Structure 1
Amino acid sequence: MMKKTIKSLLILLLSLILIVLGYFAYLFIAYHRIDDNLSLDISNSGNPTDKINVGQTYRISSANVGFGAYSDDFSFFMDGGTESWAFSKEAVNNNITNEAKLCQSLEPDFFLFQEVDIDSTRSYHVDEAALLTQVISENTKDTSCTFAVNYDSPFLMYPLTQPHGKSKSGLLTVSSVTINDSVRRQLPIETGFSKFLDLDRCYAKNYIDVDNGKQLVLFNVHLSAYTTDPSTAVNQIKMLTEDMQAEYDAGNYVIVGGDMNKDLLGDSSEYFGGDKESHPWAKTFPTELLPDSFEIVGPIDENNPAPSCRNADAPYTENTFVLTVDGFILSSNVELVDANVLNSEFKYSDHNPVYMDFILK
């Protein structure tokens, strides 16, 4: 009897080892990098304007929609919280729909969205890009859209109680002016095992004609927040700024918008309080890496400041650590008129939408 028990335990142990080894083999086999300089499809609806005009005021918005999961009562396991999936498919649809309506209320000419899932376990395989464009089209009939896949990850078995699963997510750009060309640029990422947790990172470059014969190059960006090697985050910014400078040197106008995952106000705790030292991911954007011909824009109303992002280690309360990581970078031939945060108190995402008014000089 004892021999049979030992034999059964050994078979069980061997089976578990084979399952674990098989899973890790799957991770390595399924892992892949998405091509750099990948041309993106452009989808036009109605009759978007042909060109953007010099001297006219335009508005651009940006929102990280948090894959439709981050209602104000949501916490995420990778941030120290409890959830790995959105609460339900209905919650995903509700959060994405309302986040789109918030951005629509700003009446922007250009929409930038990050962390938009199109086929992910965590968001119940809702095509959020289609849902966002559907909601926007209810008021903005004439649009030009691009979507860049940020990452397409293999099935993550962690946490065991609710495996995060497979994630396919990216960057959606919606413009009321025709996008003539669009390309996905691959950012540097981690090279160790952590690459399986923070996979591909990219930005999308969208080219829009200007009435003086030049082009507006609109960058939609989502940089990494957590890197075990600090040089990874630095190299991402260096690559981005070199590309920005090249477009500016070519005579173009450049606007970068999105989730920079860096404190754009220098030290957001001066506005919102909180212990920044206890949140090492909340590093200040290294403005010393910006070329002289560019400026960082951290959206803020000095008289009534609102943050753009909350920590997601627990549901949102008035004591939650907050800061501003969403914003813009402008070339010197673009005039800043105003930039601010639409304070929704993180009801539908862990990011509040931000917006900026600008003029091409």
Structure 2
Amino acid sequence: MRKILRALLLVVLVILIAVVGFIGYLTLTEYQPQPVEALKIPTGKREINKKQDLSVLTFNIGYAGLGKTEDFFMDGGKTVEPESQKMIKDNLLGIEQAISEAEADINLIQEVDRDSKRSYHINQEKYLTERLGMNGVFASNFNVNYVPFPIPPIGKVDSGLMTMTNLNMSEAQRISLPNPFKWPVRTSNLKRALLETRFPIKDSEQELVVFNLHLEAYDSGEGKVAQSKKLAAVLYNEYAKGNYVIAGGDFNQVFEGSKQFPEVKKEGWQPGNIQNKDLPDHFSFSFDDKYPTVRVLNSPYTGSYDTSKVHVIDGFIVSDNLKVEKTKVLNKDFEHSDHHPVQLTVKFK
């Protein structure tokens, strides 16, 4: 009997040591970015002219792994990663075509993987910049050597935000956003950020300042609120300097005043809500709700908004010294991503 107890205690001790050791490893290797980090900027060939319209595209590409046939365990589905590298490559080709056809001056791309198990370690930053012939600036927001959940685990993730453009850029930086997660969950989770890019304007002392964002998705709500407040403060500071300001991306929150699509099922991921009162003075939302911008990944896409959960959570915030000419969802029927690209066109006042 004593031998059995000793054996059981030994097994428990080994498991405990392994768990503590693994948590220690995640803690020691945790990605801990600074509040603000300067990023290397590419050399652009084109200069912004205030007399010409400017087009900005936002597109969460879902690491090219969330096409219309996929679900995802965090949204209420079952899948952890796509079944094949071919699926990733096929989706990347469709994503590349969608960005190319939009012909935007500035492209704000979210969920771009550089070296992740879930996307078969394809460097999507390199792929898109080379295939599209555009310069890119990358800011990490998910950098974990090994995400230990679920079963099978997600594993290594190296992913983030990328802004692509051939416009002349003067500066770029990564601005950390508040993190709602505590240790040890924090060690294997996202570290959200704003990717700020600054563009000089021909014959002007003002700048165009553009923020690429992907706000919190899987928190209880306080993360989205804190990050939205940080964003509002940053926008206000830039406007106070006299600059033109655009923020675009995946807000993971439904815009106040946007169309509410049918609520198909109660279970599955639910977005938050962002309201006009959350914005600083001199700013407004710009979105299109003719089509939804995201589908919930609790099941594969059915092809109908009446039977798949969909929302409007991708769009822009624009300062009032810019005139919005058009904001348009580019409907791709969720073929290659769980998000639709959204394109903004503005004039300088």
Whole-Å separation in 1 of the counterparts to 2:191 and 2:259: 28
- Aligned twin of 1:124: 120
- Aligned twin of 2:166: 176
Whole-Å separation in 2 of the counterparts to 1:267 and 1:177: 32
- Aligned twin of 2:299: 314
Q: 1:276: how far off? A: 8.3
- In structure 2, which of residues 263, 287, 295 is the aligned counterpart of residue 298 of structure 1? 287
Give the direction of change, closer, same or farther, for the CA distance of 1:288–1:279 in structure 2 (3 Å limit): farther
The range that moved more, 92-101 or 177-186, is 92-101
SS in 2 for 1:42: coil
TM-score, reference length from structure 1: 0.89
**1:31 is aligned to 2:19:** no
The answer to whether the 8 Å contact 2:195/2:211 transfers is: yes
SS in 2 for 1:92: helix
Whole-Å separation in 1 of the counterparts to 2:35 and 2:156: 22
Q: 1:159: how far off? A: 1.6
TM-score, reference length from structure 2: 0.92
**1:48 is aligned to 2:14:** no
The range that moved more, 60-69 or 148-157, is 148-157
- Aligned twin of 2:205: 213
Whole-Å separation in 2 of the counterparts to 1:150 and 1:201: 5
**1:202 is aligned to 2:193:** yes
SS in 1 for 2:255: coil
The answer to whether the 8 Å contact 1:68/1:86 transfers is: no
Alignment of 1:275-290 (within 5 A): 275=264, 281-290=270-279
Alignment of 1:108-257 (within 5 A): 108-137=104-133, 143-160=134-151, 162-193=152-183, 194-196=185-187, 198-211=189-202, 212-228=204-220, 230-257=221-248
- In structure 2, which of residues 336, 342, 348 is the aligned counterpart of residue 354 of structure 1? 342
Counterpart of 2:11, as a letter, is: L
Q: 1:94: how far off? A: 1.8
The answer to whether the 8 Å contact 2:76/2:267 transfers is: no
- Aligned twin of 1:18: 17
Whole-Å separation in 1 of the counterparts to 2:217 and 2:188: 12
Whole-Å separation in 1 of the counterparts to 2:265 and 2:326: 27
Whole-Å separation in 1 of the counterparts to 2:30 and 2:145: 7
Give the direction of change, closer, same or farther, for the CA distance of 1:353–1:179 in structure 2 (3 Å limit): same
Counterpart of 1:287, as a letter, is: N
CA deviation vs aligned residue, 1:295-335 (integer Å, no higher than 9, x gap): 111223xxxx2111000111111211101111011000011
Counterpart of 2:34, as a letter, is: D
**1:337 is aligned to 2:325:** yes
SS in 2 for 1:284: strand
Counterpart of 1:177, as a letter, is: L
Task: Specify every segment of 5 or more residues in structure 1 that has no aligned partner in the other structure, as ranges.
Answer: 138-142
SS in 1 for 2:110: strand
Whole-Å separation in 2 of the counterparts to 1:283 and 1:151: 21
The answer to whether the 8 Å contact 2:214/2:249 transfers is: yes
Percent sequence identity is 31
Counterpart of 1:48, as a letter, is: K
The answer to whether the 8 Å contact 1:299/1:356 transfers is: no
Q: 1:190: how far off? A: 1.4
Give the direction of change, closer, same or farther, for the CA distance of 1:106–1:265 in structure 2 (3 Å limit): farther
Task: Specify every segment of 5 or more residues in structure 2 that has no aligned partner in the other structure, as ranges.
Answer: none
- Aligned twin of 2:54: 58
Q: 1:59: how far off? A: 1.4
- Aligned twin of 1:140: none
Whole-Å separation in 1 of the counterparts to 2:322 and 2:52: 11
RMSD of aligned Cα (Å):
2.0
Q: 1:23: how far off? A: 1.8
